Amino acid sequence: LMEHVLSIVLELAHDDKAESRRITAAGLLNGLAPRFGPVLCQQFCIPEVTSLCDDPNFKVRRAVAYSMDKLLRVVDNCCDRLLPAFMRLSSDMNWAVRKACADSLALIAESVDVSVRIDQLVPLFDSLALDSCKWVRGALSQRLGRFIASLPPEKVPEALVQRFVDMTKINRDDACWINKGTDKTPTPKRRASGVPSTLRATAEALNQPQPMDFASNILFCCAFSFPAVVQASPARWDDLLLPAFQV
């Protein structure tokens, strides 16, 4: 049955005339990876996903950036093929593709070995944190707490904790790394509710008011992930985290 399903997904991925089908295929190749199993993923899904990374349409490349974490979990030793593709997407000329990589970085980190997180993903985080686009930096900051929590406490760089603490200064243009950029990227279209669906769901689950602007989103995510960061970096409580908690 899954071989038949896979053949349909591959057909969608090869549709050169309809970008929406290739976008759907990218999500299905990743989302159905646990059902396809490691053999089919190794033979078909991973080559197809890496091929879609070079799609001429940025919306397809953006979809691929969101569609690697389950493949990394299902197939052992596939980092050598998928991670370089993710790295290429993280430096894509289109800011929306880079933003998708920033959104996905924590999930990718949770799907690979600790050594890969430390040696490759921490430097990638640092690179994305210097991105010229505010929306890339903002998306990255909202995943920072989860990213820090994916690292062993003894391996958490102090610079990452400092960036997390600096999120509390989002309303001060000169004090927060998220605000330091020069490009004039247009404001993305908001959903009807005005906030990302994941953040909206979190707020609803906690029965809390939904934050409605960029700075409030950053502060909400900082507060929500604060306990995880404290657990991952207990040695930084007195000098960095406690002052931020009291802001």
How is 9-46 classified by DSSP, letter by letter?
HHHHHT-SS-HHHHHHHHHHHHHTHHHHHHHHIIIIIH
Q: pLDDT of 27-70, one tens digit each?
A: 999 999 999 999 999 999 999 999 999 999 999 999 999 999 99
Task: Assess whether pLDDT exceeds 70 at residue 223.
Answer: yes
The C-alpha atoms of residue 23 and residue 102 are separated, in whole angstroms, by 18
Model pLDDT, residue 245 = 66
CA angle, corner 69, sides to 82 and 210, nearest 5? 135
pTM (predicted TM-score): 0.83
Model pLDDT, residue 168 = 84
Asked whether 108 and 121 are in contact (CB, 8 A), the reply is yes
The C-alpha atoms of residue 4 and residue 53 are separated, in whole angstroms, by 24
Instruction: State the average pLDDT over residues 92-104.
Output: 96
User: 3-class SS at 2?
Assistant: helix
Q: pLDDT of 99-126, one tens digit each?
A: 999 999 999 999 999 999 999 999 999 9
Owner of token pair 């490349």 = 61
Asked whether 49 and 67 are in contact (CB, 8 A), the reply is yes
Model pLDDT, residue 49 = 95
Please tell me the least confidently modeled range out of 152-166, 196-210, 212-226: 196-210
Q: Which residue has the higher pLDDT, 240 or 64?
A: 64
Q: pLDDT of 1-19, one tens digit each?
A: 688 999 999 999 999 889 9
Model pLDDT, residue 170 = 84
Of all residues in the chain, what percent carry a pLDDT higher than 70?
81
35 by Cβ neighbours in 10 Å (0-12 / 13-18 / 19+) ranks as middle
Model pLDDT, residue 174 = 72
Start-to-end CA span in the chain (Å): 56
Asked whether 62 and 103 are in contact (CB, 8 A), the reply is no
Looking at residue 156, what DSSP letter applies?
-
Mean pLDDT value across the chain = 84
Model pLDDT, residue 188 = 57
Task: Assess whether pLDDT exceeds 50 at residue 237.
Answer: yes
The C-alpha atoms of residue 107 and residue 69 are separated, in whole angstroms, by 6
Looking at residue 94, what DSSP letter applies?
S
The C-alpha atoms of residue 108 and residue 210 are separated, in whole angstroms, by 27
Q: What share of the chain is helix, strand, coil (3-state, %, to 5)?
A: 70, 0, 30
C-alpha dist (Å) from residue 191 to 91, 151, 198: 26, 32, 12
Looking at residue 188, what DSSP letter applies?
P
Kindly indicate the confidence band of residue 79, based on its pLDDT and cuts at 50, 70 and 90: confident
The C-alpha atoms of residue 97 and residue 117 are separated, in whole angstroms, by 21
Question: Which of 38-42, 177-181, 198-202, 241-245 reaches the highest mean pLDDT?
Answer: 38-42
